[in-house]
């Protein structure tokens, strides 16, 4: 599938969530995965704000990305934090030159093999609800077309999230975010089970979980829950990708 076709397919897939059963984990995992597949980036992740304005980790394309997203939250520092606070995209930042800006985050990201970062706001009509992070192992600027495409994907995901939130009251919204956090816990538990059962790394376990989800057109949370419940065995996961998947350096 060509880059343009993949982007169009992703837009349709994200838009489908406007009418289908809504699962915020699936939406943002799809957003992260498709950015890695369609654009010149090696890892992607999403932080989403709670009703109180605190950023929470929701989805990532790799284990190393998950670690770096959580590190940003813990240290209150990094491209995603800056992007969310300002509502303005942070693009083409060379990590080798960012020690003054992010003294804790920059060296940690470099240690994970990344050399440039970009963060795009999940923003609509002046309201920012989170940010999409895109990390590259290569140095040099990201193409304008890729940045525009990523922002377009983020925009559609934002519309889906805000439209769904508009139908919820404050209590239901908090329950939804609590469910998202619970889903992340289940996914982490499933990764641990897969890693132990198949003697693979955590990033490989996540890749197998994600691939099985996509191959069977099932939500990643649903597959993870089946692994944890024992109704799906780790060794039975079907994780062969049709196309090569870029993996972040660990």
Could you report the per-residue pLDDT of 176-227, keeping only the tens digit for each? 566 666 777 888 888 899 988 888 888 888 888 888 887 888 888 888 889 9
Consecutive H or E run containing 47 = strand 43-49
Chain region(s) in the chain for CATH 3.30.450.40:
3-168
Superfamily, domain 3-168: GAF domain (3.30.450.40)
Q: For residue 91, what pLDDT is reported? A: 95
How far is the C-alpha of 47 from the C-alpha of 60, rounded, in Å? Answer: 9
Farthest CA pair distance, the chain: 50
Q: For residue 22, what pLDDT is reported? A: 65
Q: How confident is the model at residue 87 (pLDDT cuts 50, 70, 90)?
A: very high
Q: For residue 243, what pLDDT is reported? A: 35
Pick the CATH number of 179-236 from 3.40.190.10, 1.10.10.10, 1.10.10.60, 1.20.910.10: 1.10.10.10
Q: With H, G, I as helix, E, B as strand and everything else as coil, classify residue 193.
A: helix
- pTM (predicted TM-score): 0.69
Chain region(s) in the chain for CATH 1.10.10.10:
179-236
Q: For residue 246, what pLDDT is reported? A: 40
Q: For residue 18, what pLDDT is reported? A: 55
- Region of poorest pLDDT, from 23-32, 148-157, 166-175: 166-175
Q: For residue 72, what pLDDT is reported? A: 96
């Amino acid at each position: 599938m060509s880059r343009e076709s993949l982007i169009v397919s992703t837009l349709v897939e994200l838009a489908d969530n406007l009418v289908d059963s809504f699962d915020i984990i699936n939406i943002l995992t799809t957003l992260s995965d498709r950015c890695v597949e369609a654009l010149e980036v090696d890892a992607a992740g999403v932080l989403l704000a709670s009703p109180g304005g605190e950023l929470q980790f929701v989805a990532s394309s790799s284990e190393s990305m998950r670690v770096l997203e959580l590190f940003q939250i813990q240290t209150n520092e990094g491209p995603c934090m800056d992007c969310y606070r300002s509502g303005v995209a942070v693009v083409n930042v060379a990590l080798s030159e960012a020690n003054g800006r992010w003294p804790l985050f920059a060296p940690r990201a470099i240690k994970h093999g990344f050399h440039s970062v970009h963060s795009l706001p999940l923003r609509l009509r002046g309201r920012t609800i989170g940010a999409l992070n895109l990390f590259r192992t290569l140095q040099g600027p990201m193409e304008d077309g890729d940045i525009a495409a990523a922002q377009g994907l983020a925009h559609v995901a934002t519309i889906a999230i805000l439209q769904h939130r508009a139908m919820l009251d404050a209590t239901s919204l908090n329950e939804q975010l609590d469910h998202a956090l619970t889903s992340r816990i289940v996914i982490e538990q499933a990764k641990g089970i897969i890693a132990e059962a198949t003697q693979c790394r955590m990033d490989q376990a996540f890749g197998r979980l994600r691939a099985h989800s996509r191959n069977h057109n099932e939500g990643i949370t649903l597959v993870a829950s089946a692994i944890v419940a024992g109704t799906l065995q780790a060794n039975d996961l079907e994780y062969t990708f049709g196309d090569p998947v870029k993996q972040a350096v660990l």
